[in-house]
């Protein structure tokens, strides 16, 4: 089975998202204008990275682990969402930031619990 190279795939998806949302902003569809489209580009591309980490297998043994791709996608998407909320509804920005901190904390606890396991017994070296 052939493996997809992630760099050209991600570059292509980013260009599709970028061009598609810019076109949507020209028609002012659903209140998306040129001022609010850039945060949405980051949010949608970050969501793509999260989906890609679970759907498409890594290209080879040297590819980054899935949790790293999910983390970068969540970071990019979260920053895009904060930027969008700051651009459209400024007073809600502290609330959105607090909610994202809680979500990040829950993800960190879940990750640490998922990685925790019974320790292997140490063998004596003497």
The pLDDT tens digits of the residues spanning 35-77 come to 889 999 999 999 999 999 888 877 777 778 888 888 899 999 9
Domain-embedded: residue 121: no
Could you tell me if residue 126 is inside a domain?
no
Average pLDDT over residues 101-117: 84
| The total number of structural domains that make up the chain | 1
Residue-number span of the structural domain to which 26 is assigned: 6-114
Alpha carbon distance 48, 11 (integer Å): 11
CB within 8 A of 70, min separation 6: which ones? Answer: 49, 50, 53, 54
Is there a domain that residue 124 lies in? no
pLDDT score for 31: 81
pLDDT at 1 over 60: no
Q: Residue 1 domain-assigned?
A: no
Burial zone of 65 (CB within 10 Å; 0-12 exposed, 13-18 middle, 19+ buried)? exposed
Determine the Cα–Cα distance for residues 61 and 59; give it in Å rounded to an integer.
7
3-class secondary-structure state, position 110:
helix
**56 occurs within a structural domain:** yes
Please tell me the distance from the alpha carbon of residue 37 to that of residue 21, in angstroms, as a whole number.
6
Plot region of 31 (φ>0 → left; ψ -120 to 50 → alpha; else → beta) = left
80 in any annotated domain: yes
The reply to whether 104 falls in a domain is: yes
The answer to whether position 25 is within a domain reads: yes
- Enter the pTM of the model: 0.79
């Amino acid at each position: 089975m052939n493996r997809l190279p992630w760099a050209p795939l991600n570059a292509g998806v980013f260009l599709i998202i970028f061009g598609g949302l810019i076109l949507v902003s020209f028609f002012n569809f659903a209140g998306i204008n040129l001022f609010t489209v850039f945060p949405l580009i980051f949010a949608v591309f970050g969501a793509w990275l999260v989906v890609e980490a679970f759907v498409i297998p890594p290209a080879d043994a040297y590819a980054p682990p899935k949790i790293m791709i999910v983390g970068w996608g969540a970071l990019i998407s979260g920053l895009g969402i904060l930027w969008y909320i700051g651009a459209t509804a400024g007073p809600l920005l502290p609330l959105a930031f607090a909610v994202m901190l809680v979500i990040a904390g829950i993800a960190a606890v879940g990750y640490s619990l998922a990685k925790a396991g019974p320790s292997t017994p140490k063998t004596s070296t003497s």
